[in-house]
Homo-oligomer: A and B are copies of this chain.
Amino acid sequence: MSLLGGLTIWFTGLSGAGKTTLNRAVSERLTGCGLSVESLDADVVRKAICRDLGFSKEDRDENIRRIGYVANLLTRHGVIALVSAISPYRAVRDELRSSIGDFVEIYVNASVETCELRDVKGLYRKARGGELPGFTGIDDPYEPPLHPEVECRTDRETVEESVEKIMTYLEARFATAGKK
């Protein structure tokens, strides 16, 4: 697989939908191809550059813009930046698509019910108990992508199936880029 220039691969979806799992798996595959890869997990980036931000719409948008700023810098230098972030609002995701250019949106789609059943981090339980007000999918909105490059139905597909979908898309994209 070859790639001319960098790319931002943006995993959006509810908490517990499987963004981090898919990010890691795709990152390993791309690293295995000898590509320069950086995984940015919103939870980690938040501690590094967004400690001041809360979970209001304004703060969430600012959080996504800052992660986008970092992803954009890396992309411009030929890195594949893989970002996992709930990023619930469509407008700011579209803003990043437009400013970064080389942008692939992966909709990690599982229903709230499924994510709540998994509840890996125990966050849904806390949200239902009123400990986490403004929790996406419970009492805060999630706006799904209208035209994502790839949609992974993680409530119906295995991780391997989702990863294959993403890799198939990327291979086709890189092949086209190589022919330009």
Complex: A56 Cα to B84 Cα, angstroms = 32
Complex: A49 Cα to B72 Cα, angstroms = 13
Does A113 sit within 8 A of B, measured CB to CB?
Answer: no
Which B residues touch A53, using CB under 8 A?
52
Identify the interface centre among A65, A73, A76: most chain B CB within 10 Å of its CB: A73
Q: Is the CB of A36 within 8 A of B77?
A: yes
Interface 1/0 per residue, A70-95 and B, CB below 8 Å: 10011011110000000000000000
Which B residues touch A69, using CB under 8 A?
48-49
Does A153 sit within 8 A of B, measured CB to CB?
Answer: no
Complex: A11 Cα to B4 Cα, angstroms = 32
Interface 1/0 per residue, A50-62 and B, CB below 8 Å: 1111000000001
Does A24 sit within 8 A of B, measured CB to CB?
Answer: no
Q: Is the CB of B52 within 8 A of A52?
A: yes
Chain A residues with CB under 8 Å of chain B are 36, 38, 48-53, 62, 65-66, 69-70, 73-74, 76-79
